Chain A
Amino acid sequence: MGEEVKKIMHVVRRPPHGTIYPYEGLEMVLIMAAYDQEISMAFIGDGLFCLLKDQDTTKLEIKGFMKTLGVLEDYDVEQIYVDSKSMAERGLTPDDFCIAVEVLEPDEMGQKMAEQDCIIPQ
Chain B
Amino acid sequence: MKFGILLKEGPYNHQAADTAYQFVKAAMARGHEVEAVFLYNDGVYNVTNLASPPQDDRNIVQRWSELGDQGVEILSCIAASKRRGIADEVLSRNASITGLGVLTDIAIRVDRLMIFGD
- A interface vs B, CB < 8 Å? 1, 6, 8, 20-21, 24, 27-28, 31-32, 34-35, 37, 118, 120-121
Q: Is the interface of A mostly helix, strand, loop or mixed?
A: mixed
A15 to chain B, nearest CB (A): 15
List 14 A-B residue pairs with CB atoms under 8 Å apart, sorted by A's residue number: A1-B109, A8-B107, A20-B41, A21-B8, A24-B79, A27-B100, A28-B40, A28-B103, A31-B99, A32-B103, A35-B108, A37-B108, A121-B115, A121-B117
Q: Is the interface of B mostly helix, strand, loop or mixed?
A: helix
A30 to chain B, nearest CB (A): 9
- B interface vs A, CB < 8 Å? 6, 8, 40-41, 79-80, 99-101, 103-105, 107-109, 113, 115, 117
Residue of B nearest to A24 (CB): B41
